[in-house]
């Protein structure tokens, strides 16, 4: 008898978890309930990011009754970007949904995200319009999101909602590391994917505590710098470093020209701090231009993303 064709998986749900044992059972039940109602085939990929609270054994226990529950187990805690990256890498679905494991995001919102994806978007992000966090976190997040939206030109309110739905082309094109998961809409938007947003319900944490503290606010500043560099200058580092280097060197030349004129008119300039400043600016300027050229060289020799920028081809082998 011929074996029936294997059913392809339509939706992969990727769930990063770091010490969220108490939420896992309820989360699984609510995800299963919601996804079953969609009538689509699915898999739940839990990425256990080095939990030390026996989350793994809880996940293994849940998997014994449902093989659609899959587990990726990290040797130690590598952070949410790595957890999402590995989850994406092992996903089989045409659509990928991400959701936090702490039950702050509601699994019941997933059908709304999927419906919005069908309106012609490649990525739909949740917007925690009524956010259930402390006043400090809400304010910091509002400032962060306003800056991120202004700098990246992606007009959404909430970059860092755990609940998102993607077409698999998007997750394949993302290269996440460090804290970059907070900028996924910006990184995807920059690659030409269409980004949508819908308000979603957000609940306070029932168990455990947030894995992030106030240090995230300070790191956010550096992350914004990274994102400016990644989205605007990664293909042309010389424009950034060369521009800065040119400005430094120009100021240095103006200062030193002024001092040279003084010297020709008989003034002693050897003791003037301005001489040091002018010379330093010229040296730094030249170094910046060299950084830019080195950057160009690296971009030139590591162009692996060429296949990711093409959406479709017609008549091309």
Q: What are the residues binding ligand UDP (CB under 6 A)? A: 16-18, 20, 49, 77, 79-80, 83, 100-102, 104, 162, 210-212
CA distances (Å), origin 50, targets 14, 19, 80, 88 = 16, 8, 11, 18
Judged by CB under 5 A, which stretch of 102-110, 227-235, 279-287, 305-313 contacts Mg ion? 102-110
* 253, 274 Cβ separation under 8 angstroms: no
Contacts 24+ apart (CB under 8 A), 83-87: 83/16, 83/17, 83/18, 83/47, 83/49, 84/14, 84/16, 84/47, 84/176, 84/181, 85/174, 85/175, 85/176, 85/177, 86/47, 87/12, 87/14, 87/15, 87/16, 87/45, 87/47
Helices 21-38/110-117 angle, 10° precision? 50
For residue 38, the minimal CB distance to ligand UDP (Å) is: 22
Q: Does 55 bind Mg ion (CB under 5 A)?
A: no
> Does the protein bind Mg ion through residue 104 (CB under 5 A)?
yes
Residue 36 C-beta: closest distance to ligand UDP, Å: 22
Least distance (Å) from ligand UDP to the CB of residue 104?
5
- Min dist CB 238 to ligand UDP, Å, is 36
102 lies in the binding site for Mg ion (CB under 5 A): yes
Angle, in degrees to the nearest 10, between helices 21-38 and 55-65: 30
Choose between 100 and 122: whose C-beta lies nearer to ligand UDP. Answer: 100
Residue 141 touches which of Mg ion, ligand UDP, none (Cβ within 5-8 Å per kind): none
DSSP structure string for 242-282: HHHHHHHHHHHHHHHHHHHHHHHTT---TT-HHHHHHHHHH
Q: Which does 109 bind (CB under 5 to 8 A by kind): ligand UDP, Mg ion, none?
A: none
Residue 102 beta carbon to Mg ion: minimum distance, rounded to whole angstroms: 4
Q: Please, what is the minimum distance in Å from the beta carbon of residue 43 to ligand UDP?
A: 18
> Considering the complex, what minimum distance in angstroms separates the CB of residue 196 from ligand UDP?
21
Question: Which residue lies nearer to Mg ion by CB, 131 or 236?
Answer: 131
CA–CA distances in Å: residue 256 to residues 243, 268, 288, 295: 20, 13, 19, 29
The closest of 180, 191, 182, 177 to 156, measured between CA atoms, is 182
**Residue 231 contacts Mg ion per CB under 5 A:** no
Nearer to ligand UDP, 128 or 167 (CB): 128
- Shorter beta-carbon distance to Mg ion: residue 43 or 102: 102
Place of tokens 């449902």: 66
Q: Which of 4-12, 95-103, 150-158, 246-254 is the region at the interface with Mg ion (rule: CB under 5 A)? A: 95-103
Q: Which is nearer to Mg ion, 47 or 259 (CB)?
A: 47
Binding site for Mg ion (CB under 5 A): 100, 102, 104
């Amino acid at each position: 008898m011929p074996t029936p064709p294997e059913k392809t998986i339509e939706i992969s749900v990727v769930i990063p978890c770091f010490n969220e044992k108490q939420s896992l059972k309820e989360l699984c039940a609510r995800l299963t309930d919601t996804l079953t109602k969609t009538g689509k085939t699915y898999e739940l990929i839990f990425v256990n990011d080095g939990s030390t609270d026996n989350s793994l054994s809880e996940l293994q226990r849940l998997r014994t009754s449902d093989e659609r529950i899959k587990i990726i187990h990290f040797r130690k805690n590598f952070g949410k970007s790595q957890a999402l990256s590995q989850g994406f890498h092992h996903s089989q679905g045409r659509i990928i949904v991400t959701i936090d494991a702490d039950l702050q995001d509601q699994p019941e919102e997933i059908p709304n995200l999927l419906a919005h994806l069908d309106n012609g978007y490649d990525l739909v992000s949740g917007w925690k319009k009524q956010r259930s966090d402390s006043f400090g976190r809400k304010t910091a997040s509002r400032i962060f999101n306003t800056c991120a939206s202004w700098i990246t030109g992606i007009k959404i309110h909430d970059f860092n909602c755990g609940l998102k739905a993607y077409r698999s082309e998007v997750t394949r094109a993302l290269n996440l590391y460090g804290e970059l998961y907070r900028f996924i809409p910006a990184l995807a938007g920059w690659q030409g994917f269409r980004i949508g947003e819908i308000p979603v319900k957000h609940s306070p944490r029932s168990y455990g505590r947030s894995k992030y503290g106030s240090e995230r606010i300070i790191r956010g500043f550096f992350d914004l710098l990274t994102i400016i560099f990644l989205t605007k200058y990664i293909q042309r580092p010389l424009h950034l470093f060369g521009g800065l280097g040119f400005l430094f060197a120009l100021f240095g030349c103006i200062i030193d020209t002024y001092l040279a004129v003084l010297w020709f008119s008989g003034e002693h300039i050897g003791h003037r701090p301005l001489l040091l400043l002018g010379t330093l600016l010229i040296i730094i300027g030249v170094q910046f231009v060299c950084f830019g050229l080195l950057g160009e060289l690296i971009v030139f020799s590591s162009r692996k993303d060429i296949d990711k920028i093409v959406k479709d081809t017609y008549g091309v082998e």
